Amino acid sequence: MVRRGVGEAHGAVSIINAISTGFGGALGIDFYTRAYVEVVEGGETMLVNKDSVGDDSLVKEVVRTVSELAGVKGLGFRVTTQSDIPIAVGLKSSSSAAVSVGLAVLDALGETADIGAFLAAVAEASQRSGVSITGAIDDAAACMLGGIVLTDNYGRKILRHEAVDQDLAVVILIPAEKTYTKSFRRETLAPIRDLVMEAFKIAERRDYWRAMTLNGLLHAAALNLPTRPIIDALSAGALGAGVTGTGPAIAAITTQEYVEPVSAALSKHGKNIVVKRVVNPPTDGHDRHIKLG
């Protein structure tokens, strides 16, 4: 009997970019990635849709680390992914893929894992494969659990995880340009490190949208990205706005009342505007162990 598994994760936007400090924050939103895996006895792991996705090193590392976490060796997997997340713009497509593939592997093996240990394994795989500088446990946790997370990325720890107002919307400007982590120079952000840490401290005080805006303006300036879309979104009624990840996408948090004016403000800077819902943790809470299927 062929063993198969399915896993799914959301997308996310940055509250605090962790690259310069190691401390990050993110918010889950309703993009999706779905992964399907099939166990191959004694075989190699392969990404079936590699031609459409590109580099398969992340998938192979996730399969290896999650299999080791489950105490399983010597198996290969045929992996297929589907996603509506634009890649390389800051909307956490890699973290979403890593989580969904990892969950699909657990599902196929019929195994469970502690949430913290699972996310640490995914972060390790992301760092080893080169798709993340810090491991991006903030992004992975937001993609998997929903809500807002604050994390110590190098310590592989979730410092806070909580729900947000379900009526909030996220308006996103998605430029045509792309930014790939593997080619990103970390030292670019060194001059703003102390200020980003101040933004993280603001987030620790639960002033998330002010923290997001400060983080977004700092990273826009450091990365030579335009700040005007952020200011225009705020002027139109956004609660907070900023560059997500290393961009170039700009995300703005708003109440439903201001979705249209914020969208109109961002549309002055590009035609590709997407409106997404926030994703919160299930109302029945989380068991510390996860299993799909």
How far, in Å, CA of 97 to CA of 119, rounded?
Answer: 13
Helix segments in 28-111, DSSP class H: 50-53, 57-69, 93-109
State the sign of the Cα–Cα–Cα–Cα dihedral 200, 283, 259, 31: positive
Check whether 181 has a pLDDT greater than 50: yes
Of 44-58, 134-148, 177-191, least confident by mean pLDDT is: 44-58
CB-CB contact of 99 with 121 (8 Å) = no
Asked if residue 184 and residue 135 are part of one domain, the reply reads no
Sequence-distant (≥ 6) Cβ neighbours of residue 167 within 8 angstroms: 255, 256
Q: What pLDDT is attached to residue 74?
A: 86
Q: Are residues 150 and 175 in the same domain?
A: no
Q: For 208-226, what is each residue's pLDDT tens digit?
A: 999 999 999 999 999 999 9
For residue range 60-103, list pLDDT tens digits in order: 999 999 999 999 988 999 999 999 999 999 999 999 999 999 99
What is the structure's pLDDT at 186? 84
- pLDDT, the chain, mean: 93
Do 42 and 127 fall into the same domain?
yes
* Over residues 142-146, mean pLDDT: 97
Report the CATH number that the domain containing residue 108 is assigned in CATH: 3.30.230.10
Q: Give the Cα separation of 277 and 291 in Å (integer).
A: 25
180-208 burial: b if 16+ Cβ within 10 Å, else e: ebeeeeeeebeebeebbeebbebbbeeeb
CATH at 257: 3.30.70.890
DSSP state of 170: E
What is the rounded average pLDDT of the residues 132-138? 95
Give the integer Cα–Cα distance in Å for 261 and 5.
43
Within a domain: residue 287?
A: no
Domains: count for the chain: 2
Q: Which residue range(s) make up the domain with 211? A: 169-277
Q: Are 40 and 79 within one domain?
A: yes
Residue written as token pair 């191959």? 40
Pairing of strands 46-47, 75-83: parallel
Burial of 163: CB neighbours in 10 Å, binned 0-12, 13-18, 19+: middle
Cβ–Cβ < 8 Å for 230, 242? yes
Evaluate whether residue 283 is within a structural domain: no
Whether residues 39 and 136 share a domain: the answer is: yes
In a domain, 288, yes or no: no
| Host H or E run for residue 218 | helix 208-222
pLDDT digits 0-9 by tens, 239-267: 999 999 999 999 999 999 999 999 999 99
pLDDT given for residue 292 in this prediction = 35
Strand partners, 28: 12
Residue 110's pLDDT is 94
